[in-house]
Structure 1
């Protein structure tokens, strides 16, 4: 207060050994700034409410299938009830460093999540399906084992993280096989692989839920089903040191897999 008095050149407080009281100048200053203190208190109260109110932007990285099959249904349940929450989903097949890239969380298969991350299951077990069109099989025998795929025109997927082609994985009776297939087409999107298989351009290795509608409609024929065992589904992962905001916590609970 003495510094303020020195700055304005006016005594604001009358001081005695027993009391301190505002001078006339002090009273005038107090009357002027009191409403400002009330405004500051109100603003701080609003900020306190926001602290516990679900709001803000959440950035997530996910593969194409995870974004469509798991994130989209969950966000459709969450966002209409919380208009102040915003979610940005970046579709990327690479194993992104979510901390370095500024993401709040990522979605990947359980086996792909780094050990230093918190992983939350958000989807059921998955299966893959090897499919081709009836026209494709008109002049070709159906593969009976995964090794037979080396004699077929297979539609590949390029993996950005390692720069190579995705290796098709199979399991039967505890025996695991990884087959490097070859073919005329390579894509980095799910839809292109599905459409190319429907057009008879080769065999595709797709998530079962994506292929099932076309199998039921007889657009695609499934092969090697007994070699496509279930595996751990999608998990939401994020750093263990992440400060959990109300919006993030709410999204986590919305996405949490509750079982069939």
Structure 2
């Protein structure tokens, strides 16, 4: 036979080994779930493929020829190794072990992943979480990631997407000191006359154009200002220090709003959009480690909701 086995080669070899081990066509056929006549035909085809008789057949018994015995001795260890390898693969399917590669927006990691890390490491000591915290939108499959956490509007359509938490809103904010000096904008387009702290998506050359909602549609305002950053927390800190007007996600700046360090502006022109989602490629058989991670993140979400965050 050729060094590589075709599917028909493998089926014929499997049929021959079943008969050789049982020394009975009827018992071998029962173990394989086929009829004795079909099994006999498959084995006969295998003998023709090999070019020699491998089994002696009578109406009452089956025995191996010298060639058949030698073939069985040669291939039995390989068959046993194959069975052991398949058994190990099935065991790994049941064991929660291996590496889960995660790509996540920083804000999502802080809210849904960081709170569950210690418990997850304790419960699943054989799982390694390989976390990449990055606000860039990457091709997770091409990047070798198993799962990602990102906002709904940048998720590929062929992904399974599980929402985490509520919808989000972006709010224009400024410090009381800035407003005392520069006044408040009345309409989003007034922002072009203000010093805005701009944010740039990682990997993008241009700063993000601020988005607002009016009369049933979204529109953009290309704001200007003295500072451009690629980290949203740095942008908010600049706003807190009075450097200009900022644009922040509501739940990320809620504490600053409650404590009066930031003042919300232009709220009539803000609208909710799909929030953080946990997304992963569609798959029929999911690795137990990935399933454990997904379940742990969703449990962290429920705990976050219970806290009223």
Question: Is TM more than 0.5 here?
Answer: yes
Unaligned regions of 5+ residues in structure 1, if any? 1-16, 21-40
Deviations 1:135-189 (A, max 9, x none): 1112111112111111111111112344221121122452422111110001111
SS at match of 1:165: coil
- Structure with the bigger RCO (C-alpha within 8 Å, sep 6+) is 1
Per-residue deviation, residues 5-46 of structure 1 (Å, max 9, x unmatched): xxxxxxxxxxxx9999xxxxxxxxxxxxxxxxxxxx999877
CA contact under 8 A between 1:57 and 1:86: conserved in structure 2? yes
Q: Secondary structure at the match of 1:135?
A: helix
Helix, strand or coil at the partner of 2:289: helix
Could you say which residue in structure 2 is the equivalent of 1:213? 255
1:224 maps onto 2:266 in alignment = yes
2:221 maps to 1:179: yes
**2:85, 2:283 → 1: CA distance?**
30
Q: Secondary structure at the match of 1:147?
A: helix
Distance 1:253 1:53, change over 3 A: same
Structure 2: 5+ residue runs without aligned partners?
Answer: 1-55, 65-82
Counterpart in the other structure of 1:141:
183
Q: Is the 8 A contact 1:142 1:223 kept in 2?
A: yes
Alpha carbon RMSD of aligned pairs, Å?
Answer: 2.9
1:225 deviates by 2.0
| Worse-superposed segment, 218-227 or 72-81 | 72-81
Distance in 1 (CA, whole Å) between partners of 2:147 and 2:284 is 10
Whether the 8 Å CA contact 1:70–1:123 is kept in 2: the answer is no
Tell me the residue number matched to 2:16: none
- Partner SS for 1:186: strand
- Separation in structure 1 between the aligned mates of residue 296 and residue 109 of structure 2, nearest angstrom: 15
Aligned to 1:249: 291
The corresponding residue for 1:108 is: 150
Aligned equivalents of 1:140, 1:107: Cα separation in 2: 38
Verify the 8 A CA contact 1:58 1:87 in the aligned structure 2: yes
Taking a change above 3 Å as real, the CA distance of residues 213 and 174 of structure 1, as seen in their structure-2 partners, is same
**Over residues 65-112 of structure 1, what are the superposed CA-to-partner deviations in whole Å (9 max), with x where a residue is unaligned?**
122123323445533322222212212222211121111122221121
The size of the alignment, in residue pairs, is: 227
Q: How does 1:1-260 map to 2 (within 5 A)?
A: 48-75=90-117, 78-172=120-214, 174-241=216-283, 243-256=285-298
Query: Of the two, which has the highest radius of gyration?
Result: 2
Structure 1 250/179 Cα, relative in aligned 2: closer, same or farther at 3 Å?
same
- The 3 A distance-change label for structure 1 pair 221 and 180 is same
Q: Which residue of 2 aligns with 1:25?
A: none
Distance 1:141 1:242, change over 3 A: farther
**Range with bigger deviation, 156-165 or 234-243:** 234-243
Q: Relative to 1, partners in 2 of residues 1:238 and 1:43: Cα closer, same or farther, differing over 3 Å?
A: closer
Q: Give TM-score scaled by structure 1 length.
A: 0.76
